[in-house]
Chains A and B, each alone.
Chain A
Amino acid sequence: AQTVTQSQPEMSVQEAETVTLSCTYDTSENNYYLFWYKQPPSRQMILVIRQEAYKQQNATENRFSVNFQKAAKSFSLKISDSQLGDTAMYFCAFMKAAGNKLTFGGGTRVLVKP
């Protein structure tokens, strides 16, 4: 079974600054996908970024980027130039390559302060 751990329950950051969220996972799989999902106060979860384990290059989506360390089983999310709209819960999630289910971490609440 896979487990996903997010060690930071809450983080705050000033607008325009950078914040990094940690995620570690445990799996015996060699091929898999990792995701960061965002859940704003309105509650609809949306996909922020996806990483394929067999790709060494770290994924980037605009101000969001990841640091994927496969050997260390670490998958952190960096939010650059934080905006007020980035205030949300962020969930790290794992999916086996041939699977269809997500396993989630406990979440990190991010508060962006003006």
Chain B
Amino acid sequence: DVKVTQSSRYLVKRTGEKVFLECVQDMDHENMFWYRQDPGLGLRLIYFSYDVKMKEKGDIPEGYSVSREKKERFSLILESASTNQTSMYLCASGRGAYGNTIYFGEGSWLTVV
């Protein structure tokens, strides 16, 4: 079974803190994604990576950055957390195009106070 593991399920951080969300996949997928999930808005893509050290902005990249130093690991970084970044963050991975399945982690609940 494909496994996408997010290291932290629940985090509480203070405004202005730097926050790291880590994600690891075990299926040698080229593509990895970070989505943000908010009620009524569904999932919105923050960033994705199609190879090591390669990244592309998604729909809502402002306030976030990412790092992919190894193929299996994709990190989301909040340089200076703000209360409007309180949300559920979902990591995902998958192979290339043509409708291949994208697999999701269990999510990380981030609360910024």
Contacts and interface: CB of A to CB of B under 8 A. Distances in A.
The binding surface of chain B is classed by DSSP as strand
The binding surface of chain A is classed by DSSP as loop
Contact of A44 (B31, B50, B104): B104
Interface string A45-77: 111001010000000000000000000000000
B33 interface: yes
Contacts of A46: 104
Contacts, number: 60
Report, as a range, how many residues of chain B touch the other chain: 20 to 34
B43 A50 contact: no
A30 interface: no
Given A43-B106, A44-B104, A101 B98 contact: no
Report, as a range, how many residues of chain A touch the other chain: 20 to 34
Interface string B38-54: 00111111001010000
Given A33-B99, A45-B90, A104 B50 contact: no
A44 B105 contact: yes
30 contacts: A4-B42, A6-B42, A33-B98, A37-B104, A42-B106, A43-B107, A44-B106, A45-B90, A46-B104, A47-B102, A52-B99, A91-B43, A95-B99, A96-B97, A97-B97, A97-B98, A100-B31, A100-B50, A100-B94, A101-B45, A101-B48, A101-B58, A102-B33, A102-B92, A104-B43, A105-B42, A106-B40, A106-B41, A106-B42, A107-B40
Interface of B: 31, 33, 35, 40-45, 48, 50, 58, 88, 90, 92, 94, 96-102, 104-107
